[in-house]
Amino acid sequence: MALALAIIVGDLIVVCADEGPFTEHDAEISRDFALPHGFRALIAATPSVAEGLASELALAFDKLGAGFELDVKQAAYSGLRAFKQRSIDAHFESHFGQTYGEFVGSRNLIPQSTYDAEIEKARNTQFNAELMIIGFVQGDGGDTEPVILASHPDWSISTYAGFRAIGEGELAADYQLRARGLLDGGLRSVDEAIYLAFEAKRIAEISENVGSHTKLTVYSQEGGPKQIDAQGQAELSTLFASYGPRPLSKGISIASYLQTQGT
């Protein structure tokens, strides 16, 4: 999954993901992972990183108590923090044969310059993946509400109201959704959200690492996920031919308006 994006429309979440085709040169290929309590993690990373992160998130979400947004955000952060510690421990074990905690405990046996450099490196460890979590949380009135959370390179996590894209082609997809007015909450129907998700993904194919195969799924609190079938994909392609970028008309004439400017 070089690219994944999610759009909230009403009480539904539309998710569009790149399904390849991929080659052996595509390092950042992953899948979406089911988490406890109906949440899903979409991860753009190498397979080993994605699987490691997903396992830590599953453990954190398994302990989730109340389903309020703050609780879900804390569970996501706990999973990220556990994965960060796992990554740091793996670095120290491969270089020094001991965990981070053991390394700190043996500081008197390590040259000061080496110790300081490694501790600084651990503190500045960057998140080498992109994470998006989707699901449904308990609102203030007791009803469930869709939610999108996504990570940052500094291991923090934020809630996004409306839409979010991650992975290769993220910027192109994000710009397209913004150009379509999604920041202003202009969605009128799930049909529109499905098309705009498809359109943004097609625009993101400008990135050489985003494949031409697309998976579109609509998630709801009740009834389970529903996926757009082959016939629906064909209809979306027809709509894209009408509403997406098209070749410029050969009849454009604008250069005649150029005027010489005085010095």
What would the pLDDT profile of 2-33 be if each residue is shown by its tens digit?
899 999 999 999 999 988 665 554 555 557 89
Q: What is the pLDDT of residues 227-257, one digit of tens each?
A: 999 999 999 999 999 999 888 877 888 888 9
pLDDT of residue 52: 93
In-domain check, residue 106: yes
Position 219 scores a pLDDT of 95
Instruction: Tell me whether residue 258 is in a domain.
Output: no
Q: Between residues 29 and 95, which one has the greater pLDDT?
A: 95
Q: In this structure, is residue 35 part of a structural domain?
A: yes
**pLDDT (0 to 100) of residue 21:** 62
Q: How confident is the model at residue 54 (pLDDT cuts 50, 70, 90)?
A: very high
Examine residue 142 and state whether it is found in any structural domain, yes or no: yes
Contact 258, 247 (CB under 8 A): no
Whole-number mean pLDDT of the chain? 88
Count of other CB atoms within 10 angstroms of residue 138: 15
Long-range contact pairs involving 31-37 (C-beta distance under 8 Å, separation at least 24): 31/1, 32/1, 32/4, 33/57, 33/58, 35/61, 35/133, 35/135, 36/61, 36/62, 36/64, 37/61, 37/64, 37/67, 37/135
Please give the single-letter amino acid code of residue 169: G
How many residues belong to the chain?
A: 263
Q: Does residue 249 form part of some domain?
A: no
* The most confident of 55-59, 61-65, 99-103, 128-132, by mean pLDDT: 55-59
What's the confidence (pLDDT) of residue 29?
52
Query: Is 255 part of a structural domain of the chain?
Result: no
The answer to whether 163 and 7 are in contact (CB under 8 A) is yes
Flag whether pLDDT at 200 surpasses 70.
yes
Grouping H, G, I as helix, E, B as strand and the rest as coil, residue 162 is coil
Q: Are 215 and 227 in contact (CB under 8 A)?
A: yes
Res 1: pLDDT:
53
Please state the pTM of the whole predicted model: 0.87
Residue 238 lies in a domain: yes
Q: Report if residue 248 sits inside a domain.
A: no
pLDDT(189) > 80: yes
Total number of domains constituting the chain: 1
pLDDT score recorded for residue 22: 55
Place of tokens 């998700």: 197
Domain that holds residue 227: 3-243
Compute the CA torsion angle 201, 204, 206, 210 (nearest 10 deg). Answer: -70
